[in-house]
Amino acid sequence: MRLRRERVVDVAIALLDADGLDALTMRKLAARLGVQPGALYWHFAGKQALLDAMADRFLEDFTADWPAGSWDEQFAAASWRLRQVLLSHRDGARVMAGTYVAEPNTVLLGNRAIEILQAAGLPPDRAGWAAFAAFHFVLGHTIEEQAQLELAGRGAWEPKLTVDGIENKLAATAFTADPAERFGYGLQLFLDGIRQQLAR
Amino acid sequence: MRLRRERVVDVAIALLDADGLDALTMRKLAARLGVQPGALYWHFAGKQALLDAMADRFLEDFTADWPAGSWDEQFAAASWRLRQVLLSHRDGARVMAGTYVAEPNTVLLGNRAIEILQAAGLPPDRAGWAAFAAFHFVLGHTIEEQAQLELAGRGAWEPKLTVDGIENKLAATAFTADPAERFGYGLQLFLDGIRQQLAR
DNA sequence: ACCTGAACACCGTTCAAGT
DNA sequence: ACCTGAACACCGTTCAAGT
């Protein structure tokens, strides 16, 4: 069968969803594929290359059905959707954060984001920087959101609201509120900032 | 000597700066301390606890000499300084990104950021969410900045400006421009967003 | 072209026992 | 209180050799 490379990514993602990123090893993956560990290195240069392929798979068909509307509606919808895609795979955000933007679907998404912002009126380079900043926010937020999910799922979960006798305000606001509400607020902050830039 | 725990962190950071995060292993650290690997587990519950302590050390004296000025000047200055601190240690941003906000200096910094934004006029919870969003931006930006430094230092560095025949616009804008300029732009976007919120 | 067998050079962590 | 000795249960990666 000539569909090996794709199947490796399929099973790797299944393993990720089941056991998490820390438990995703080349050896376990090989075992599940009924193959020797070394065989994987014919298909992928190394573990990171496999992770890159997995992250890119997350974004499959992402740009295919793109949201309609004004530039800020499109940008907001895409951001919400990216968060959703990352949340739909265990440790999804952490996987994506470790990759470099060089795989096809990732490039397509980045280009699309830049085009939206350019069409809105931002200069090309600023559009790129803004897209990057937004990407960092979504990743950072979702990594932390999933980290909380892991901790909650693994039992022991006390937010540590005071440390060394001083109040942990960041923890208090972050762990109490609804993650989606927090995400929406950060996104709004970002969009307001771009609008302000456009007004200049 | 009763200063063991602190010395472990000292040497761990020295090892990080010299060889990078991937080469920082408990066994190498133990060897450099002239001790058996197992000995480290008397001082730290595990490797992550050591990493947490290292990240918190990065922020030592951070809140001690806090910038003066209006709320946005203070916030901007603190952001620039955080980036600088992370850049001053190899893989510094990646180390900090892996930790949870529960160590003393990290908590102090988070609280300070929230207080600034609250004094500016943001409600307590919004101040926390905004501080988190800013933190995510700084970390995300600096991780990627250091990833580029690693790649550049390790030789092979061609930005891959096209992939599968399509242009990689994100890479083009991100790898061409001055990182500090990009950082400043993202920060401005963020501050503009907060000002917009305050105006409502 | 694709995989096996078998090795190399490591890891983090635990824990009885020592001092 | 702090560390040793020694083990346990793994890792990612390479590469000749097979088919």
Same domain (yes/no): B20, B84 = no
Same domain (yes/no): A194, A120 = yes
B182 touches strand C (CB under 7 A): no
- Residue A89, domain CATH: 1.10.357.10
Q: Looking at the predicted structure, is the pLDDT value of residue A155 above 70?
A: no
Same domain (yes/no): B154, B64 = yes
How high is the pLDDT of residue B171? 84
Query: Low-confidence residues of chain B, pLDDT below 50?
Result: 1
| pLDDT per position as a tens digit, B111-135 | 999 999 999 999 999 999 999 999 9
Confidence of residue A60 (pLDDT cuts 50, 70, 90): very high
Residues shown for chain A: 200
| Cα separation, B47 vs B90, whole angstroms | 18
Confidence of residue A93 (pLDDT cuts 50, 70, 90): very high
* Contact between residue A58 and residue A86 where contact means Cβ atoms under 8 Å apart: yes
- Mean of pLDDT over chain A: 93
Cβ-based contacts of A194 with chain B (< 8 Å): 189
- Owner of token pair 């895609």: A85
Tell me if A184 is assigned to some domain.
yes
Same domain (yes/no): B95, B123 = yes
- CB pairs < 8 Å spanning A and B: 195
Nearest Cα neighbor of A188 from B119, B48, B194, B164 is: B194
Same domain (yes/no): A134, A191 = yes
Q: Looking at the predicted structure, is the pLDDT value of residue A2 above 70?
A: no
Same domain (yes/no): B27, B119 = no
How high is the pLDDT of residue B73? 98
Tell me if A50 is assigned to some domain.
no
B26 touches strand C (CB under 7 A): yes
Percent of chain A at pLDDT above 70? 96
- Owner of token pair 């803004």: A130
- The phi and psi torsions of A113 (rounded to 5 degrees) equal -60, -45
Percent of chain B at pLDDT above 90? 79
How high is the pLDDT of residue A156? 59
Interface mutation vs chain B, best among A83, A136, A141, A145, most B CBs within 10 Å: A136
| Domain encompassing residue A78 | 59-199
Tell me if A113 is assigned to some domain.
yes
Same domain (yes/no): B91, B29 = no
Q: Looking at the predicted structure, is the pLDDT value of residue A1 above 50?
A: no
* Å from the B47 CA to the D7 C1': 20
Tell me if B166 is assigned to some domain.
yes
Which single residue has its CA nearest the C1' atom of nucleotide D15?
A: A38
Cβ-based contacts of A114 with chain B (< 8 Å): 169-170, 173
Q: Looking at the predicted structure, is the pLDDT value of residue A3 above 80?
A: no
Q: Which of A54-58, A151-155, B12-16 is predicted least confidently? A: A151-155
Number of domains in chain B: 2
Same domain (yes/no): B63, B15 = no
Tell me if A54 is assigned to some domain.
no
Same domain (yes/no): A40, A81 = no
Mean pLDDT within A95-124: 94
How high is the pLDDT of residue A151? 82
| Cα separation, B190 vs B198, whole angstroms | 13
Q: Please state the pTM of the whole predicted model.
A: 0.95
Tell me if B49 is assigned to some domain.
no
| Cα separation, A116 vs A70, whole angstroms | 9
Same domain (yes/no): B147, B92 = yes
Same domain (yes/no): A35, A69 = no
How high is the pLDDT of residue B1? 47
Same domain (yes/no): A39, A125 = no
B22 touches strand C (CB under 7 A): no
- Residue B37, domain CATH: 1.10.10.60
| Cα separation, A108 vs A61, whole angstroms | 10
How high is the pLDDT of residue B175? 79
Tell me if B154 is assigned to some domain.
yes
| pLDDT per position as a tens digit, B130-159 | 999 999 999 999 999 999 888 887 765 666
- The residues pairing with A166 across neighbouring beta strands, listed in sequence order, are A163
Confidence of residue A163 (pLDDT cuts 50, 70, 90): confident
Tell me if B90 is assigned to some domain.
yes
* Contact between residue B115 and residue B75 where contact means Cβ atoms under 8 Å apart: no
